[in-house]
Structure 1
Amino acid sequence: MYFAALLARTEDGWEASDTDLDNVESLTDLIDLARSTAVDDDTVVALIEQEDAWFGVVRVDGEEDPRIFVSNAAAASRSSYGSMLTDELLGSDEEEVELDDLDLDGTEDGEEDVVAVFEQGSSTEDDVDAADDEEGTGAEPVPAGPLGDPRLLDDLGVGHKELLDLDGDALSQIAESLGATEVLEAVR
């Protein structure tokens, strides 16, 4: 079971809308939907979760490229909506992306790689091999941990360390930090 909502920032706070994922077939569809709910091209945050297995955050700021974070890429990659996010972050077969050229984890030169540290503590080589076998492609394995930009909500009140530590009802905790609890609960 999935839950998804869009939080659009306005000058008076946040507005929430329930997102019907049945009409969302690609990440582009989700981004277009987010942009259509934006007020004056302000920030829209798309929140998706699957029964506490994983959650994803997509931040859209006007016409800028979206920023994406997924709490557990291996779990998300096994679901239709989660795979939209992980495919974008890892690069799909249709578009070759050099991961070394992307700042997927939000670290700066000289900073410790947050995603690699998380993986060391929560996955084993067998987990990575199993994820690779599931994909059946021999391509880069999907990490059994967070993937993307954990700093995408830093300026909105959800620090990257807080985002990486979330579990359980993560979307409610994010909404609380954003000051959007009431509007999120109204569409839940």
Structure 2
Amino acid sequence: MGGPLMSWFAAVLTRTGDRWSAEETDITDCESLIDLGEVLRDREGEVRLLVIEQDDEYAAIIRLDDDADDPRAFLSEGHAADAYPMAAIVAEDLLEIGDGDEDEVLLDPDAPPAHDSAPFGDPEIVEDLGTSAADLLAMCAHAGTLPVDLLVAVCEKAGCGEAFEDLRG
């Protein structure tokens, strides 16, 4: 999906015990949320996250738990799916996978192709790592918060802020 204009940052964050590791990863060949989940499936760890940020426009968090067949995902900005193919992959697959959870913020399947600006997916994706759904959604709504700031805040609360910052540095 990548091309000369695709300039995203993608990293895999894994935790074993209380030790986090972070590594940049290539998602160029991923064409679905399932493909993004496969990036995590091969990694060791009790917690496995894939974080994506592109052009200060959106952040995506993909999580694959050991007991899950499908990855969970959260996209910070729905409009990004209109302009960024990787955001569109996450958005469209969230619509297809949807677990029927009434609290989940999903796009209306009958809506026109343009995506709502609201974040959607699973806002509880990192709740057990210290960032509540309400806090995650509030950061997305805050006018001065960049997508990378959201990822840094999530990582700091989870205990992997230093590993994430070293990778981005």
TM-score grouping bracket, smaller chain normalisation: 0.7 to 0.9
Question: What residue in structure 2 maps to residue 18 of structure 1?
Answer: 24
SS at match of 1:23: coil
TM superposition shift of 1:104: 6.7
Matched, 1:161 2:155: no
User: What is the total number of aligned residue pairs between the two structures?
Assistant: 152
CA deviations 1:107-165 (Å, max 9, x no partner) are: xxxxxxxx49xx9xxxxxxxx9xx83xx3xxxxx5222111110111111111111112
Cα separation, 2, equivalents of 1:29 and 1:186? 26
Q: Give the structure-2-normalised TM-score.
A: 0.79
TM superposition shift of 1:63: 4.3
Cα separation, 1, equivalents of 2:75 and 2:136? 10
Instruction: Give yes or no for contact 2:126–2:154 (8 Å, CA) kept in 1.
Output: no
Question: What residue in structure 2 maps to residue 138 of structure 1?
Answer: none
Question: What residue in structure 2 maps to residue 145 of structure 1?
Answer: 118
Matched, 1:102 2:100: yes
TM superposition shift of 1:33: 1.1
TM superposition shift of 1:102: 1.5
Query: In the alignment, residue 59 of structure 2 is paired with which amino acid?
Result: F
Cα separation, 2, equivalents of 1:35 and 1:178? 20
Question: What residue in structure 2 maps to residue 67 of structure 1?
Answer: 72
Greater helix percent: which structure? 1
1:29 is aligned, of 32, 35, 40, to 35
Cα separation, 2, equivalents of 1:80 and 1:147? 16
Q: Which stretch of the first structure deviates more once superposed, 75-84 or 172-181?
A: 75-84
SS at match of 1:176: helix
Cα separation, 1, equivalents of 2:17 and 2:102? 30
The unaligned stretches of length 5 or more in structure 1 are 92-96, 107-114, 120-127, 136-140
Going from structure 1 to structure 2, the CA distance change for 1:105 and 1:57 (only over 3 Å counts) comes to: farther
Going from structure 1 to structure 2, the CA distance change for 1:36 and 1:77 (only over 3 Å counts) comes to: farther
Q: Give the structure-1-normalised TM-score.
A: 0.71
Question: What residue in structure 2 maps to residue 3 of structure 1?
Answer: 9
Moved over 3 A (4+): none
